[in-house]
Amino acid sequence: MIPLEDNVGDVIGKAQRGLGISDSKLAEQARVSSETIRKLREGDVDEAALLNVAPILGLNGQALCELAKGEWHPKKIEGHDGLAQFNTDYHGMAVNAYLVWDPATHAAAAFDTGADSSEMVRFANRHKLDVQLILLTHAHADHVADLPRLREETGADVFTPAREPVPGAELIDEGKRFRLGNLQI
């Protein structure tokens, strides 16, 4: 199995930033030291501290402990009409990209490209999907690695968050909405 892109420290840091919780505030609420918070973000496997921190960040404590020990892996998304997941290897890390579509009209959008979009393109062609949009979640290389090919193969318009410009992509602000057939994104 390909290792996850994000480790437990990344998950904690992203949750803190998303919730606007500082190290000192998290430490106080979790009843641990600020040093412990720093060590958790560096990958220290302190199960008691992880279990204290998790609920404050809205995370599953057991899953966080398993992730820290390298034992937790997400399940592949399957069996949902209108959604397909593509997992690619980017320098030894797992990177996901997705296709969503309106089952009635076959209008589709790609979320990120992954390291190699060839499986996504084959899937879209096999299911007669019309990929009209490529929506980038952020500008990290692993999420945009195959953008030139995916754009060339689909002719789709490309959009990226305003704070993370990508050459050739239109900048959009948070809250931008798209419509594909009966699907609203």
Query: In the chain, where are the structural domains located?
Result: 8-68, 83-184
Q: Judge whether residue 139 has pLDDT over 90.
A: no
Backbone phi and psi for residue 41, each to the nearest 5 degrees, phi listed first: -70, -20
How high is the pLDDT of residue 115? Answer: 92
Whole-number Å distance between alpha carbons of 7 and 22? 19
For residues 101 and 92, the model is more confident at 101
CATH architecture of 83-184: 4-Layer Sandwich (3.60)
Class of domain 8-68: mainly alpha
Identify the pLDDT of residue 117: 96
CA 133/CA 115 separation, integer angstroms: 18
Query: CB–CB of 128/91 below 8 Å?
Result: no
More confident residue, 142 or 122: 122
Residue written as token pair 């890390």: 93
Angle at 171 between CA 153 and CA 139, to 5 degrees: 70
Name the nearest CA neighbour of 137 among 110, 155, 116, 119: 110
Strands (DSSP E) found in 20-138: 83-90, 93-101, 107-111, 130-135
3, pLDDT greater than 60 = no
Q: What is the pLDDT of residues 30-85, one digit of tens each?
A: 999 999 999 998 888 899 999 999 999 999 999 999 988 888 766 777 778 899 99
Q: Is the CB of residue 62 less than 8 Å from the CB of residue 53?
A: no
Q: Which two tokens stand for residue 14?
A: 């992203």
Please compute the mean of the pLDDT values over residues 153-182 and round it to a whole number. 94
Give 147's Cβ-side CA count (13 Å radius): 23
